[in-house]
Amino acid sequence: MSLKKTLSIIKPDAIESKYHGKIIDFLENKGFKIVAQKKLKLSKVQAEAFYDIHKERPFFKDLVDFMISGEIVAQVLEAENAVLFYREVMGDTNPEKAENDTLRKLYGTNIQCNAVHGSDSDENATKEISFFFSNLELIN
């Protein structure tokens, strides 16, 4: 099987709580290679563009406000079946429903402040990676 990539975001709640280092350790222990990583703060326009697929959802405005409330860390993770594997490692959107030993169970607070984002398909992973990173920034 070939290595694939997915886009991860450590969200403002987890950065604020200083979980960044713990999340990196967890990811590396699970076998992900972090092939790119940067800390940044999204503007409203950027957050709206990133979550465009959710623009009709009732939680859209709150989600955008949350995602611009502080610094985030965007990461490109590489593993076999990276997208599906990272969805498993993150756990359910709602930390209360997430399995033990998942990032959202360990570091999430509620359905909005759930510590991490992960792409939901290979197609979206490609789009989301190029939203944050140029090819030059990815380790081959």
Looking at the DSSP bridge assignments, the partners of residue 118 are 8
Q: Residue 23 belongs to what H/E stretch?
A: helix 20-30
Residue 6 in the binding site for ligand ADP (CB under 6 A): no
What's the token pair of residue 37?
């990583």
Give the per-residue SS3 of 82-100.
Answer: HHHHHHHHHCCCCCCCCCC
8 Å CB contact between 125 and 5: yes
CB of 124 to Mg ion, least distance (A): 8
20 is catalytic: no
C-beta nearest to Mg ion: residue: 120
8 Å CB contact between 120 and 90: no
The pattern of x and - marking residues 84 through 113 that bind ligand ADP according to CB under 6 A reads ---------x-----------------xx-
CB of 41 to ligand ADP, least distance (A): 17
Q: Residue 5 belongs to what H/E stretch?
A: strand 3-10
Which of 72, 98, 117, 118 is the catalytic position? 117
Q: Which residue has the tokens 């989301």?
A: 128
131's contact among Mg ion, ligand ADP, none, with CB below 5 to 8 A by partner kind, is none
Q: Which of 12, 117, 129, 132 binds ligand ADP (CB under 6 A)?
A: 117
CB of 48 to Mg ion, least distance (A): 15
Interacting residues toward ligand ADP by CB under 6 A: 54, 59, 62-63, 93, 111-112, 114, 117, 120
